[in-house]
Structure 1
Amino acid sequence: MRLHVRRVLAAAVTMTVAGMTLTGCFEEPSAHEAVRDFLVGWQSGDYALAASRTDGDPTAVARALEDARVHLDAASFRFKIKSLTENGGESTADFAAEVDLGENNSLWEYTSKLPLHLVDGVWKVRWSPSVIHPQLHEGQRFAVEAKPEPRRSVLDRTGEPLQKDATLYVAGVTPVTLGDNAEKAVEQLAALTGFAQDRLLSRVRSAPPSTFVPLVTFGRLKFGQLESKLKAIPGVTIQEQKQPVAPAAPEQIVGTVSALTAETEQELGGPQRAGDSVGLTGLQKAYQDNLTGSTQTSVVTLDLKTGEQVAELKKWPGRPNAPVETTIDSTIQEAAEAALAGTRSATMVAVKASTGEVLAVSASHNLNEEKDALAGKYPAGTAFSIVAAEALLKKGVKPSQRLSCPAERSVGGARFEQVGLSATATQSFQSSFAKSCVTALASLARRVTGDELTGAAADFGLGKPWKLPLKSFSGKIAKLDSDADKARAIAGQNVEVSPLAMALVAGAVAKGTWRPPLLVVKPATPDPTAEVLPAKPPAPVTLDAKTLPVLQAMMRAGVTSGTAAAAATGGEQVSGITAPVTGKSKKQAWFVGWQGDVAVAVFAEDADPASYAGRFFSALRNPA
């Protein structure tokens, strides 16, 4: 995480005149020593030293220099003498100033002059407020105006927000109404919230007196707990703000937002200020800086009597913020939510087959859309037979080839058990594929090499180095050094995949080209501090043109004559297979298939995933 930056600089003043650093002693009387002592005292906070080198009232000068630091909320000052000229009893020093305003703002740099004259044989700075800055005059003070941009939204593919407005409660003060109670009010607020008292107080003191200064933001629950105590603090007022922070589906992909707390401020650092919102999970966290931008900051001078602005001395526009544009289709997302409503231990990912764009992500209430649907590491089961079938078809295995489907079979010492089919059944390769007969499919391990299976897996993107801006898993296949290893791979027992990875497999079969996933269209990359930084996506892979139509027909048979018939209730021309996970104590199964340009993968426990796919496709045809 980026650390909170307040650049505390060294106390030594750089005094360069005509290329020479003045650190030695000079014959008196000399203006150099007066300039050096004044600027060293100002820079180091020894205001008494600085004041002693002026012709002004020492107490008033020291207070003016300290007020400049307070009213700028400055972390440090640094000075460099550019030139020094003497003319009899008068002298002028030209100097450059660098003021660190903290809050990750740029340094405020300006040039000014120190007029000096001899007073009883001693050089003194001729005091006036313009010594601090050429545009600061009597009866004026500095102030820092901060104008934060409201948080932007995460959007679906049509530009509609994927979150709703929620009410946040902003506790702040108007400095002019506090009078002498500013320190007491801030002390009570700091004790109640945990924010650093000095930081809150410096923000109050540096702000224009008649401007509302937001200090701490609360969500509804926290505000409800503290409301009476907050309202009891003299001078603290509460403003309600609407911000797009309540996530819509897919909620865990969009992510949650919280008001900045003392703890998260220390953890995040960066441009956040007490009172800001911060993304805690999902895209809200990954794109925090993009969504919030940075605060516009101005240094101004104010009239002490009226509080009105006299001049703007410097302005930093801040980094602009922008919405995050995703590929999520809200209509398809609603269908996915409806399909899994009331289910346990099921996840679903839908992608656009022709592009790899993620259209919808859904998960049962006990699972997580990011950790389980995008990044879950599940056994592939006979869903991997889609990949294996492509390799076997290339090797000349015909869909019509007859295979036996016994209750048990051993291949190279690896044992497989088939549940639900007659031990004497003999059927075609296509039928075995459509009905996910693991003992029949495993028997084909000797017809293909390990490298050919591994190469087919790579063609379908499994194990390739693609990443989303959220946690995701592209799959993993074990080394295939024996017939037993290959048979286990065909049965998906030594292959791990995610629902996202299998949805992309379905999309590849549907359209003939595997494409890497895409979730966020803009910005191109998340924040540099995000947990996951996507690498350059791998190139699309076009599947074999001869085997593709055969593989598509086999997938279609999974619905028309196989165990995925429940998916057909969602409409015509659904293609896909139901693929059980064997060799596990839990009853787990996949549906992998597509309808039109929507490819989907469903993983479920103790349920028929094809029925969830049927609900999904039905909801697409008949939206609420």
Structure 2
Amino acid sequence: MHRDHEEHEPYESYEPYGEDGYDDHLVHADGHPQAPQRRRSRRIWLVAVGGVFTALVVVAGYGAYNVLSAVSGGSTDTGGGAASTTAKEPQAPPTAEQADAVAKDFLAAWGRGDLTVAAGLTDRPEAARMALASFHDNVSARALTLTGTGPAPAGTPSEPAVGYRVRAEFDGTAQAWEYESALGAVRASDGRVLVRWAPTVVHPKLAAGRTLAVKALPNPVSKPTDRKGRPLDALPSLQSVLPQIAPPDGAKAVTGQAVVLSGGGQEAEELFVLTPPSAPQVKLTLDADLQQVAEEAVKQQSANGKPASLVAVQPSTGNILAMAYAPQGGFNRAVGGGQAPGSTMKVITAAALLEAGVTPDTAAPCKETTNSPRTWHNDEPGNHLDYSLSDDFIHSCNTGFIDKGLEKLQLGTLGSVARDQFGLGLQWRIGIPSRDATIPVPGNKDEAAAAYIGQGQIQVNSLLMASVAATVQSGTFRQPVLREDVKRVTAPGKLPSDVAQGLRSMMARTATQGTARTPMSGLGGQIGAKTGTVEAGSGQATNSWFIAYRNDLAVAAEVEGGGHGNSAAGVAAAQVLKAGGKG
């Protein structure tokens, strides 16, 4: 005689995120729930034993275990006789064979999902059932294979231990999670051999108060790399640059999942990654090795607190290979600054003069002073009336360039050549915010004279002037970029080949015979350079500028208060050219 009766537990309550930031819903390893368990149906069977009806609870889906034993209080006597009243003999510890047998039954039941059966084979059935259910629900393996591996070293004569291997397979990933653990066997007071329950039965790192669950990993952070995929985040000048790099259009981060051990007041630990997180990656045009050299060069020249910057560009592509500035972590003056370039601007003035019909050999006397009507002088005293334009260039003669510019050029010519042949002032988009050149049309001859030698209202930075050197070296303006997927601008015109050749010849003479010869000494290959010394005001040290190229590498450097162009800025630029301009 029996009757069925259905009981239901409430559904689990899921919280979207745990305290450690992972997405989870958990039950403690020791069996105490954090959230209600899933709805399960229970069926109560009434079984008659000795004329008395006893209720047995069987969880549907997991199966029943040893019903008769549970009814009779654990006795294995089936003969119907009276219970013995004699004192029980001391129980012998389990043998290795008995331990192996109970482990085999336990692992088989756990592996096929009969968690109540598995829990009934332990000395703490309810704690075991709760922990196994937590693992089943929260880890959610598609398939679970448990294989005994024989006696475990952790065993003792009174409690032999059995090792086993766990293999969990998951949907959506071909790689399985595998680990090894061990369980101990004990003899109960009724004589049965049982698994001694402990959280480590589930996983060797599991402890009371801790939980295992598949959780969403924290959102990945995109970290741009150099052109070879090498990390850049340890380089000081790039600390404020890398966060400005946006992912490619339409690219999104992918959140991963992992089996995570958490709780118990300890830091969460990822035990197995099901799907790794991925973030859109951007390879920048930078070269990590050259960037390191640039960082060190700028650091040396700014040691006394002088602001400085340096940019290296590849003439054949326009790719920015290095970008360093000081103070580190402050304003990125390398691409965002605006300073007068001094005599490095004579490269563009010379280009305008060459387009106007002047040649490198055209006479251009270098007088000690000249007037526009403002009086202008040179860095070095004396008259050099036999100088040509090329001589003025390599010795950086201000008066020769002013006189020839006022004679041959219209007031707006310098800005037009800078824009049309060198691409200055065209609103570049390099991959991060940058500043364009400012080359206003002079309002009078004094302003024009100042512009021809890089003084007055002209504002540029190392990025722009590195591009000027690169354009001379290759003969073609290629807009510098920090990432190759940005849209570049093109110059309205092209540098005439004879003009490019004339500029290269004058820059080569400057590197070997002129003001740049000291820092460029010892550098082979195709080389060219131009120094710049900018007056900063009465009583203040001049600003140092230097632009140069060596083979397929062009560099511009500036050091505020650094003195003559061939000193601070020249030394920094030469360090980079030596490291990266070998061909």
- Band the TM-score falls in, shorter-chain normalisation: 0.5 to 0.7
Show the 5 A alignment for 1:240-259: 247=234, 249=235, 251-253=236-238, 255=239
Aligned with 1:465 (options 413, 427, 431): 427
Pick one of 158, 162, 165 that aligns with 2:232. 162
The size of the alignment, in residue pairs, is: 360
Q: How does 1:64-79 map onto structure 2 within 5 Å? A: 71-72=15-16
Q: Which residue of 2 aligns with 1:537?
A: 488
Change (3 A) 1:392 1:369: farther
Relative distance call for 1:322 and 1:586 in structure 2 (3 A) is: same
Q: 1:144: how far off?
A: 9.3
- The one-letter code sitting in structure 2 at the alignment partner of 1:283 is L
How far did residue 423 of structure 1 move? 4.0
How many angstroms apart in 2 are the aligned matches of 1:592 and 1:549?
A: 17
**1:594 paired residue among 541, 546, 549:** 549
User: How far apart in 2 are the matches of 1:72 and 1:400?
Assistant: 78
Give secondary structure in 1 for the equivalent of 2:502.
helix
For 1:445, give the aligned amino acid.
Answer: G
Which amino acid in the other structure matches residue 323 of structure 2?
V
- For 1:145-160, what aligned pairs fall within 5 Å after superposition? 145-148=215-218, 150-160=220-230
**Aligned residue number for residue 372 of structure 1:** 333
Output the amino acid matched with 2:554: A
Aligned residue number for residue 510 of structure 2: 558
Cα offsets for 1:369-423 (capped at 9, x unmatched) = 8611121111121211111111110111122223333333221x33323222314
More strand by share: 1
Q: Alpha carbons of 1:552 and 1:502: their partners in 2 closer, same or farther (altered >3 Å)? A: same
2:297 equivalent to 1:339? yes
Conserved 8 A contact 1:371-1:471: no
Distance 1:403 1:333, change over 3 A: same
2:196 matched to which residue of 1? none
**Which amino acid letter does the alignment assign opposite residue 492 of structure 1?**
G
Is 2:317 the partner of 1:355? yes
The CA deviation at 1:426 is 4.2
Displacement of 1:294? 5.0
Report the secondary structure of 1:551's partner residue. helix
Aligned residues of 1:570 and 1:613 also touching (Cα < 8 A): no
Tell me the CA shift for residue 319 of structure 1.
9.1
Contact 1:569 1:618 in 2 (8 A): no
Equivalent residue, structure 2, for 1:576: 529
Confirm or deny: 8 A CA contact 2:519 2:571 kept in the other structure. Answer: yes
Counterpart residue identity of residue 531, structure 2: T
Shift of 1:561: 1.9
* C-alpha displacement of 1:455: 1.3
Secondary structure of 1:542's counterpart equals coil
**Residue 448 in structure 1 maps to residue 406 in structure 2:** no
Flag the 1:552–1:569 CA change in 2: closer, same or farther, 3 A: same
**Do the aligned partners of residues 566 and 362 (structure 1) sit closer, same or farther apart at CA in structure 2, a change above 3 Å counting?**
farther
> What's the counterpart of residue 198 of structure 1?
none
Which among 268, 281, 287 is matched to residue 323 of structure 1?
281
Q: Give 1:567's aligned residue.
A: 519
Superposed displacement of residue 284, structure 1: 2.8
Paired residues for 1:207-218 under 5 Å: none
| Structure 1 pair 516–368 and aligned structure 2 pair: CA distance change class (3 A) | farther
Structure-1-length-normalised TM-score: 0.51
Structure number with the higher helix fraction is 1
Q: Distance in 1 between matches of 2:570 and 2:398?
A: 18
The aligned amino acid for 1:596 is N
User: Is the 2:237–2:324 Cα contact (8 Å) retained in structure 1?
Assistant: no
Task: Say whether the 8 Å CA contact 2:367–2:399 is kept in structure 1.
Answer: yes
CA distance in 2, matches of 1:474, 1:490: 19
Asked if structure 2 preserves the Cα contact closer than 8 Å seen for 1:362 and 1:369, the reply is no
Deviation at 1:538, TM superposition (A): 0.7
Report the alpha carbon displacement of residue 610 of structure 1 after superposing the two structures with TM.
2.1
Q: CA deviation at 1:468?
A: 2.4
Q: Which of 219, 230, 255 does residue 295 from structure 1 map onto?
A: 255
Shift of residue 353, structure 1, vs aligned partner? 0.7
1:157-210 CA-to-partner distances (Å, cap 9, x unmatched) read: 1122224xxxxxxxxxxxxxxxxxxxxxxxxxxxxxxxxxxxxxxxxxxxxxxx
Partner of 2:499: 547
Match of 1:282 in 2: 241
Greater shift in the superposed pair: 335-344 or 502-511: 335-344
The answer to whether the 8 Å contact 2:220/2:254 transfers is no
Structure 2 partner of 1:499:
462
Q: Residues 564 and 470 of structure 1: is their aligned pair in 2 closer, same or farther, counting only changes over 3 Å? A: same
Three-state SS of the structure 2 residue aligned to 1:590 is strand
CA change 1:399–1:324 in 2 (3 A) is same
The corresponding residue for 2:175 is: none
Read off the aligned partner of 1:539 and give its amino acid letter: T
Question: Do the aligned partners of 1:370 and 1:470 also contact (CA within 8 Å) in 2?
Answer: no
Task: Letter of the 2:283 partner, please give it.
Answer: E
Q: Unmatched 5+ residue regions in structure 1?
A: 1-59, 75-100, 102-138, 164-246, 256-280, 299-316, 525-533
Give the AA of the match of 1:383.
T
Q: Secondary structure at the match of 1:575?
A: strand
- Secondary structure at 1:383's aligned position in 2? helix
Please identify runs of 4+ aligned residues in structure 1 that moved more than 6 A: 139-144, 288-292
1:363 to partner: Cα distance: 2.8
Superposed CA RMSD in Å reads 3.7
Percent identity reads: 25
Alpha-carbon distance in 2 for matches of 1:286, 1:349: 18
Q: Which residue of 2 aligns with 1:415?
A: 375
CA distance in 2 between counterparts of 1:547 and 1:435 reads: 20
SS at match of 1:396: coil
Report the CA distance shift for 1:414/1:464 in structure 2 as closer, same or farther (over 3 A).
farther
Larger Rg: 2
Partner of 2:109: none
